[in-house]
Amino acid sequence: MGYINMGNLLLNLKAQWFKLPILAFIIFSFSVTIIAQNELVDNTLDKSRQLIDAKKFSEAADVLGSFEDQYPGNIYVERLYAQTLFWLHDFDLASTIYERAIGFHPNNMDVKYEYAIMLFDYKKYEYAKKLLIEYVSVNKYNGEAQLLLGKIYYYQRQFKEATIHLENAITLNPDDNMIKELYQQIYRIIAPQLSIGGRYRIDDQPMHAYGPSIKFNWYRSDILDLGISGNMLRYSDIPTSNLIASVQLSNSFNIASAGINLKMSVGGIYSKIGSDVDWIGGIHLVKKFNRPVQIDLMVERKNYDYTVSSVERDSILLVSRLALNISIGKKDNWNGLIGAQSNIFPDNNYVNSYYLWFLSRPVVVSNFKFYFGYSFNYMNSKEDRFEAVDSLSQIISNYTDKIEGIYNPYYTPMNQMSNSLLVNIKYQIGSSTEIYGHTSIGLFSKIKAPYLYLDKNDFDETVIVTGYSNQRYVPLDLGVSLQSQLSKKVDLTISYSYVSTYYFLTNNFNVGIKLYLK
């Protein structure tokens, strides 16, 4: 039978009795510390918010940073501290604080969302996307988070994923038109597009040209962006009328990470005169830089049809064109372009041009935007192709002081220079229709103009000689166009332009309908 050792029991009770006050003291001290620290946190946050409200961001950052150094890991202080650093544009330190906060609180979605917002603002899209995917997996009803994810996928040209998150954002914010407009932009990129148009050109050579055009585009991915186009023009009011038709197949390759777009095209062209068939095509490379600078390089083989003699030939007149353009600036701000172009013809002659222009930021008056600018253009040819219309015998038998001449088969300017004043106008009608107008008026322009006369050669034979004189002229380029979204799936474009050069005057009329088929 057991028994109780009363001595040991009394000793144990006495020891526990002395431990109770010590334990109570520890608990009390810890509680006081927590209360004091919570009060310090509240005071720090209140003081910091007051400084932020007063736009004293640097002082607020000092207060929050001092607390963070002494008591790291408080999620509320870290979030406000990182946000304040963001407002101070101190991206590196703000990132450090956000990373530290996530390390202390890996399951806190709010800090990840706030970090993602900052990363988005600094165009760190890939990391921002990772954090937002985590966030919306828990908080899928946050419309702003869905919108940010949609924008990131859009900027990264992942259009299918972008539409999913933008549809979610529209559901959560049905009255936000900005989201709907972005969604519509993406829809118009990925939807198959069918464009049907017609054009009419009349000039004082004289020559008329008119006919239909059709184009189909289908974006499948950044390396499969297909297009097929067909054009037909009938040329009339000339001694020998003609019809020229062409078909081209194209594909665009977009390397978004490098800011590069490459378009390649190839096709065939047919001329009714002589039943001639030949090939056409080209390569167009565009490189965009982080700053608003873009370089365009283009090489193409295409039909030349600006003169009467160029379309009356038995064979198609094809020109090899090389162009390099550098543009700078943004839409609705100061912007400009400088470039050079060389047109090389089958007879080993070439016409080179060098040009630049710039436009101001818009001057806004009601619904009108006015853009003012200047342009310069210089053109020169290796050899002249200006010749007499009549034969030597006809000229001698019907001689007058002036011998009529034409450019055959293409225009060859000699030391042609123009300085022009630019005035562009944009008028907004509602949210879906815009009218554009452009005016280019030559202020100081001149050309080494050719003329023909009769003379004797070294063998005392009468010959036709080409001479040159410096002449001033006034180049004009006036135009107006209307662009309207008739519906979500139908666009309408109508345009007219009047162009006056040294050689002839041209009136151009164009109309087109674009259908989005998806």
The residue from 158, 189, 220 where one domain ends is: 189
Do residues 312 and 400 share a domain?
A: yes
Full residue range of the structural domain in which residue 92 is found: 7-189
Same domain, 257 and 154: no
Q: Assign 35 a pLDDT band (cuts: 50, 70, 90).
A: very low
Rounded Cα distance, 329 and 211, in Å = 36
Q: What's the pLDDT at 518?
A: 79
Q: What is d(CA 338, CA 500) in angstroms, rounded to the nearest whole number?
A: 22
Q: What local confidence, expressed as pLDDT, does residue 464 receive? A: 93
What CATH number does residue 12 fall under? 1.25.40.10
Shared domain for 210 and 320, answered yes or no, is: yes
Is residue 245 situated within a structural domain? yes
Domain count of the fold of the chain: 2
**pLDDT number for residue 50:** 87
* 46 occurs within a structural domain: yes
Is residue 377 one of the residues assigned to a domain?
yes
Q: Is 36 exposed, middle or buried (0-12, 13-18, 19+ CB in 10 A)?
A: exposed
Q: Kindly report, residue by residue over 251-273, the tens digit of the pLDDT.
A: 999 998 899 999 999 999 999 99
pLDDT attached to residue 8: 57
Of 189, 204, 234, which marks where a domain is finished?
189
Q: Are residues 185 and 314 in the same domain?
A: no
Element (H, E) at 515: strand 505-516
Q: Specify the CATH number for the domain of residue 434.
A: 2.40.160
Task: Look up residue 27 and give its two tokens.
Answer: 């608990």
d(CA 46, CA 472): 75
pLDDT attached to residue 262: 98
Q: What local confidence, expressed as pLDDT, does residue 34 receive? A: 42
- Report the pLDDT averaged over residues 159-186: 94
Residue found under tokens 């008026």:
441
Q: Are residues 185 and 195 in the same domain?
A: no
> In this structure, are 319 and 175 located in the same domain?
no
My answer on whether 123 and 217 are in the same domain is no
Share of the chain above pLDDT 70, in %: 92
Domain end marker among 154, 189, 224: 189
Give the whole-angstrom CA distance, residue 303 versus residue 275. Answer: 15
Q: Tell me, yes or no, whether 364 and 495 share the same domain.
A: yes
Q: Per the domain annotation, does 2 fall within a domain?
A: no
In a domain, 205, yes or no: yes
Per-residue pLDDT of 61-79, as tens digits, reads 888 888 888 878 888 888 8
**197 lies in the same domain as 299:** yes
Kindly state whether residues 123 and 228 are assigned to the same domain.
Answer: no
Residue 373 domain-assigned (yes or no)? yes
pLDDT at 25 over 60: no
Q: What is the pLDDT of residue 26?
A: 46
* Mean pLDDT of all residues in 194-218: 97
Clarify whether residues 315 and 347 are in a common domain.
Answer: yes
92 lies in some domain: yes
pLDDT at 286 over 90: yes
Domain identity same for 237 and 180: no
Helix, strand or coil for residue 184? Answer: helix
The pLDDT value given to residue 51: 86
| 198 inside domain | yes
Each residue of 351-409: pLDDT tens digit? 999 999 999 999 999 889 999 999 999 999 999 999 999 999 999 888 778 899 999 99
